[in-house]
Structure 1
Amino acid sequence: MHVVGASMPAEAMRGLYGAEPREFTGRVIPIADVRPRDLLTEEIADGPPALAMSRLVAALERRRRTARPGSSLVSNAVRLVRREPGLITVRSLAAQLAILTRQLERHFLTVLGLTPKHFARIVRFDRTVREIQSAVRLTWSQVALRHGYYDQAHPIREFRGFAQVTLAQYARSLPGAVTSHVYNTDAAVAGRW
């Protein structure tokens, strides 16, 4: 069996598949189950497995060129959240987009199937994970503060919620040694992470 997958922004799903993104949010869906079923599945499956990813990228790129545009309001909001690595408040985001907070929440739920606050938490979590994976040596407190967490308990909860593991468990799973990526001089604190 050969597995090929793609991760894409939820807002791209309407244009690529004509389906509401909220139907896909937080799910892994076999390509054969995506409707309307077209030549994409056969296009990817047809040929040597080693080239399947190249065929998937080419097929998605062709679709992207002819896709209907998504919600420009939500696309702009997503861009702003990513630019501020998940640290922007929903109130500030709504103000920058000249829309009421509740309207912004409704647009996000309709288009992405998530609230803007939940999306911002995901973006912040992603940035935190990427920094932990880097070779930058920081204490857990520094990691928390750099990503807008106000205490060490906050990122612990985020990791458990999103990754189903603690920060320490995640760090230990990284290639090489845990401490080569994230360093904490306080052994008592490190033991709690």
Structure 2
Amino acid sequence: MAERDVREVGGAWADFQVHSFPEPAADLASFVDHFWAVSWDLGDQPPYRQLVVPNPTVQLSFPNGAAQVHGVGRRSGHKVLAGAGRVFGVAFRPGCFRPFLGRSVSTITGRVLPAAEVFGPVPARAVLEAEDAGEQARIVEGFLRSAWPAPDPAAEHVASVVALVAGDPGLTRVSDLAERLGTHVRSVQRLFAEYVGVGPKWVIRRYRLREVTDRMARSAAVDWAGVAAELGYSDQAHLARDFTAMIGESPTRYAARYPAP
């Protein structure tokens, strides 16, 4: 394994990059989960490989005067940061990009495409030239209102189902989710493929692993065996394999990214 970049460890990445989450306007809440903005200035430092972990959200990002739609990615990836720059982004509620796309969200899973293919003209230059993240948010809000799709009750239903998965750590099996919804496993699978872009098993797994990273952020010491049992894993080794496959690093290696509490 290559020698580790010391800027990954103990929160050192925060010395050259800033993350913020401007609050979206309330009228966008039916489709937008959150806005995000990141800026960085590496000065004369070498480029930095930023780990990007997957989430069950379609993203609209505005990097360097462009605009891109990112389908849900099943595994982690890296973005290389060099020099100075900034990106503004929109994370759509899981299930709620389907009305904008007009077709199954699984057709863009793992893909990045020009936003104009989905939305038509996009104010990428205005977002690039905006003074700060607050102004970027206002520009993007106006754009999203102009692109507002027709209502789709199924999108709201799927968003509520994903919220149920996210909020219940004891929910670890698709069959349990189907039973909770009073339907069949296959029906849940079809609904998730159409509206989320990935299956319910993947979504459950991702949110249970987020429980793990949340605990890392809160504490330097994690009872791995206890967490594995609580989240429905047969043993600690199974949790470690699942974590590494999705996040791209072992739990202990990933935990080192956080500053000491």
TM-score, scaled to structure 1: 0.72
**SS of residue paired to 1:11:** coil
Equivalent position to 2:227, from 112, 133, 143: 143
Provide the C-alpha distance between the structure 2 equivalents of 1:86 and 1:5, rounded to a whole number of angstroms.
31
Superposed, which structure 2 residues align to 1:10-159 within 5 Å? 10-18=94-102, 20-27=104-111, 29=112, 32-51=115-134, 53-55=136-138, 58-59=141-142, 62=145, 68-69=151-152, 71=154, 72-85=156-169, 87-135=171-219, 137-159=221-243
Larger helix fraction of residues = 1
**In structure 2, do the counterparts of structure 1 residues 26 and 67 end up closer, same or farther at CA, with 3 Å as the change threshold?**
farther
**In structure 2, do the counterparts of structure 1 residues 130 and 65 end up closer, same or farther at CA, with 3 Å as the change threshold?**
farther
**In structure 2, do the counterparts of structure 1 residues 55 and 42 end up closer, same or farther at CA, with 3 Å as the change threshold?**
farther
Residue identity in the other structure for 1:68: P
What are the ranges of 5 or more consecutive residues in structure 1 without an aligned counterpart?
Answer: 181-193
Residue 17 of structure 1 deviates from its aligned partner by: 4.8
Q: Deviations over 1:147-171 (max 9, x none)?
A: 3323111221122111111011101
**SS of residue paired to 1:173:** coil
| Alignment match, 2:38 | none
Residue 136 of structure 1 deviates from its aligned partner by: 6.9
Contact (CA 8 Å) 2:165, 2:171: kept in 1 or not?
A: yes
What are the ranges of 5 or more consecutive residues in structure 2 without an aligned counterpart?
Answer: 1-84
**In structure 2, do the counterparts of structure 1 residues 39 and 60 end up closer, same or farther at CA, with 3 Å as the change threshold?**
closer
Q: Deviations over 1:74-110 (max 9, x none)?
A: 3342232123237242222212222221122112112
Residue 120 of structure 1 deviates from its aligned partner by: 0.5
Provide the C-alpha distance between the structure 1 equivalents of 2:143 and 2:233, rounded to a whole number of angstroms.
36
Contact (CA 8 Å) 2:88, 2:133: kept in 1 or not?
A: no
Contact (CA 8 Å) 1:105, 1:116: kept in 2 or not?
A: yes
**SS of residue paired to 1:35:** helix
Residue 37 of structure 1 deviates from its aligned partner by: 2.2
Provide the C-alpha distance between the structure 2 equivalents of 1:141 and 1:83, rounded to a whole number of angstroms.
22
**In structure 2, do the counterparts of structure 1 residues 67 and 52 end up closer, same or farther at CA, with 3 Å as the change threshold?**
farther
Percent identity over the alignment is: 26
Provide the C-alpha distance between the structure 2 equivalents of 1:25 and 1:63, rounded to a whole number of angstroms.
25
Residue 119 of structure 1 deviates from its aligned partner by: 1.1
**In structure 2, do the counterparts of structure 1 residues 106 and 31 end up closer, same or farther at CA, with 3 Å as the change threshold?**
same
**SS of residue paired to 1:121:** helix
Provide the C-alpha distance between the structure 2 equivalents of 1:147 and 1:174, rounded to a whole number of angstroms.
22
Equivalent position to 1:161, from 228, 245, 250: 245
Residue 18 of structure 1 deviates from its aligned partner by: 4.0
Tell which has more relative contact order, 1 or 2 (C-alpha 8 A, sep 6+).
2
Provide the C-alpha distance between the structure 1 equivalents of 2:246 and 2:143, rounded to a whole number of angstroms.
27
